[in-house]
């Protein structure tokens, strides 16, 4: 009997993905473990294996298709003896709501065929009684008609102010009309906060090029907006004297064994020391090494420290697990390995999900100081700036020292201000006196 091959959930948070590439074709015989396709999630590109044996009867989703929902059919597997012509024609199902939104955006941003070349985008819509137009999805119109709601009285929260199903379902008698002349909304979502206008309404047609959002950019936008909106951030900043650390780093790198080509076995960076110092500080302050849930605070037993890796197509934070148990060389090598996998989109979910703390370092770009957005379910992240020569006062005298600014963003639900300050003081000590990490 023919069975459907379903879009897999390659991580606990995956809801949809891109079918990047098929590695089999119709008519191929496969067995358990055969690599069927490459699936691109918001974080990585991963291989998808067959779990049953049989013959690929029909491919339902073409490679390159984005937004394929988890558990939706992507191909049909035939049992021995079954024929491909017995498989009914099928195609990738896109939810009606997605079709509606996609059609709306396409219609709204595309100029009319008979419009002048520089004309602004237009969309067909039913006129209001006052002669202006109302933009609404067909489903929203049907619900409004059934409920006896004047759809022209509603403010839309869909693309470019389009009235969608939820607007009608949540409508109350006497709902206020949009203010005349106000810009159309790009989408709401935060109670009591007016949605931002779609930027396309603010620029002349032809003055920009559109780059469609890929799955990673969509996930970053959704995750960071949620984190910044829902997590009560506060910030603490310290300056760290790197003089001792730089001296230790120079000695350790000079002592690195070399191969026949005189290439050193390792090259420690300042960030490797910061990762280790963070891990050791977390073990001394378990209240910081924690995550928030609605019913409890989770205090982690190990220091799992994430390191932010900037990519051409986004950002990802692979994790050094049990960093408190690892030496500087091991941490350095692991960071380089994970960064390489990240840039190739080959990280696995168990290499970037979870963790209790993150380090984001922009010092290599000359950034002096900045703040970072917390990466949930973690409760803290430090933003590390560039080390630079600054004048400092030592025993009443002005001296020059290599100083680095570190700013911690903390979740106030988990980490109180005093607790965060004590943690940062310990981190500063470990950075300024690297030997103290051995105590």
pLDDT tens across 70-87, in order?
889 999 988 877 766 555
pLDDT tops 80 at residue 309? yes
CA gap 97, 431 in Å, rounded: 53
| Contact present, 358 and 389 (Cβ < 8 Å) | no
pLDDT tops 60 at residue 244? yes
CA gap 160, 332 in Å, rounded: 47
**Could you tell me the pLDDT band of residue 334, with boundaries at 50, 70 and 90?**
very high
Beta bridge partners of 253: none
CA gap 211, 202 in Å, rounded: 17
Residue-wise pLDDT for 190-233, tens only, equals: 555 667 778 888 888 889 999 888 777 888 888 899 999 999 99
pLDDT tops 70 at residue 1? no
Which whole-number Å values give the CA distances from 59 to 1, 65, 93, 150, 348, in the listed order? Answer: 16, 12, 13, 45, 26
Average pLDDT, the chain: 82
Query: Is 233 an active-site residue?
Result: no
Residue-wise pLDDT for 30-50, tens only, equals: 887 889 999 988 778 888 888
pLDDT tops 70 at residue 185? no
- Among 99, 103, 87, 95, smallest CA distance to 71 is for 95
Least confident stretch, 53-62, 81-90, 149-158, 209-218: 81-90
pLDDT tops 60 at residue 105? no
pLDDT tops 70 at residue 110? no
Instruction: Provide the pLDDT for residue 377.
Output: 93
Rg (CA), the chain: 28
- Among 108, 132, 118, smallest CA distance to 198 is for 108
Instruction: Provide the pLDDT for residue 212.
Output: 87
| Contact present, 303 and 279 (Cβ < 8 Å) | yes
Q: How much is the average pLDDT of 145-166?
A: 72
Q: Which of 5-19, 71-85, 102-116, 291-305 has the highest mean pLDDT?
A: 291-305
Residue 154, phi-psi category: left (phi > 0), alpha (psi -120 to 50), beta (remainder): beta
The owner of tokens 């076995």 is 265
- Among 269, 249, 275, smallest CA distance to 359 is for 275
The DSSP H or E segment spanning 357 is strand 357-361
pLDDT tops 70 at residue 178? no
Distance between start and end Cα atoms, the chain? 65
Instruction: Provide the pLDDT for residue 106.
Output: 42
What is the DSSP track for 79-126? PTT--GGGSPP------HHHHHHHHHHHHHHSPPTTS-TTPPP----P
Q: How much is the average pLDDT of 387-414?
A: 96
- Name the CA dihedral angle for 122, 127, 128, 132, rounded to a multiple of 10 degrees: 40
Alpha helices in 308-416 (DSSP H): 328-343
pLDDT tops 80 at residue 401? yes
pLDDT tops 50 at residue 10? yes
Q: How much is the average pLDDT of 223-247?
A: 95
**Could you tell me the pLDDT band of residue 387, with boundaries at 50, 70 and 90?**
very high
All structural domains of the chain = 3-86 (2.40.50.100), 120-212 (4.10.320.10), 219-438 (3.30.559.10)
Q: CA triplet 312, 8, 348: central angle to 5 degrees?
A: 45
pLDDT tops 90 at residue 286? yes
Tokens of 136: 């609404």
- Positive or negative: CA dihedral 341, 344, 348, 352: positive
Instruction: Provide the pLDDT for residue 281.
Output: 97
Instruction: Provide the pLDDT for residue 190.
Output: 57
**Could you tell me the pLDDT band of residue 148, with boundaries at 50, 70 and 90?**
confident
CA gap 285, 307 in Å, rounded: 20
Q: How much is the average pLDDT of 335-348?
A: 92
Instruction: Provide the pLDDT for residue 243.
Output: 95
**Could you tell me the pLDDT band of residue 133, with boundaries at 50, 70 and 90?**
low
Instruction: Give the distance from CA 50 to its chain's centroid.
Output: 28
Q: Residues 92, 213, 285, 412: which is the catalytic one?
A: 412
pLDDT tops 60 at residue 373? yes
Q: How much is the average pLDDT of 117-145?
A: 53
pLDDT tops 60 at residue 250? yes
Alpha helices in 148-232 (DSSP H): 165-169, 215-230
| Contact present, 377 and 371 (Cβ < 8 Å) | no
Instruction: Provide the pLDDT for residue 194.
Output: 63
**Could you tell me the pLDDT band of residue 54, with boundaries at 50, 70 and 90?**
confident
Q: How much is the average pLDDT of 320-341?
A: 96
Instruction: Provide the pLDDT for residue 276.
Output: 97
Return the percentage of the chain with pLDDT > 70, whole number.
80
């Amino acid at each position: 009997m023919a069975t459907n091959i379903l879009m897999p959930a390659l991580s606990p948070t995956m809801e949809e993905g891109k079918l990047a590439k098929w590695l089999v074709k119709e008519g191929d015989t496969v067995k358990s473990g055969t690599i069927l396709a490459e699936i691109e999630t918001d974080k990585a590109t991963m291989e998808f294996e067959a779990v049953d044996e049989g013959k690929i009867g029909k491919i339902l989703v073409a490679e390159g298709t984005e937004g394929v929902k988890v558990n939706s059919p992507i191909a049909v597997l035939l049992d021995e003896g079954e024929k491909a012509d017995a498989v009914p024609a099928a195609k990738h199902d896109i939810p009606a709501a997605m079709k509606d939104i996609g059609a709306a955006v396409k219609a709204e941003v595309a100029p009319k065929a008979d419009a002048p070349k520089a004309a602004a985008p237009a969309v067909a819509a039913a006129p209001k009684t006052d002669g202006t137009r109302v933009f609404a999805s067909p489903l929203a119109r049907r619900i409004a008609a059934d409920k006896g709601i004047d759809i022209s009285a509603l403010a839309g929260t869909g693309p470019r102010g389009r009235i969608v199903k939820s607007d009608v379902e949540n409508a109350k008698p006497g709902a206020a009309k949009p203010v005349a002349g106000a810009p159309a909304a790009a989408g709401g979502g935060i109670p009591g906060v007016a949605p931002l206008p779609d930027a396309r309404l603010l620029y002349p047609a032809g003055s920009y090029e559109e780059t469609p959002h890929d799955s990673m950019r969509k996930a970053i936008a959704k995750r960071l907006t949620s984190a910044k909106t829902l997590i009560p951030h506060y910030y603490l900043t310290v300056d760290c004297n790197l003089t001792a650390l730089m001296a230790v780093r120079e000695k350790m790198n000079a002592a690195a064994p070399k191969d026949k080509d005189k290439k050193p076995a390792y090259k420690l960076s300042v960030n490797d020391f910061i990762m280790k110092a963070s891990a050791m500080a977390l073990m001394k302050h378990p209240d910081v090494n924690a995550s928030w849930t609605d019913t409890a605070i989770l205090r982690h037993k190990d220091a799992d420290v994430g390191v932010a890796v900037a990519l051409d197509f986004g950002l990802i934070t692979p994790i050094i697990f049990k960093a408190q148990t690892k030496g500087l060389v091991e941490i350095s090598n692991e960071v380089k390995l994970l960064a390489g996998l990240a840039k190739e989109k080959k990280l696995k979910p168990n290499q970037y999900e979870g963790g209790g703390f993150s380090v984001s370092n922009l010092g290599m770009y000359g950034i002096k100081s900045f703040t970072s957005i917390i990466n949930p379910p973690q409760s803290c992240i430090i933003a590390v700036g560039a080390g630079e020569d600054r004048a400092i006062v030592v025993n009443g005298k002005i001296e020059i020292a290599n100083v680095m600014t570190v700013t911690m963003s903390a979740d106030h639900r988990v980490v109180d201000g005093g607790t965060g300050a004590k943690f940062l003081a310990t981190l500063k000590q470990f950075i300024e006196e690297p030997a103290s990490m051995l105590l």
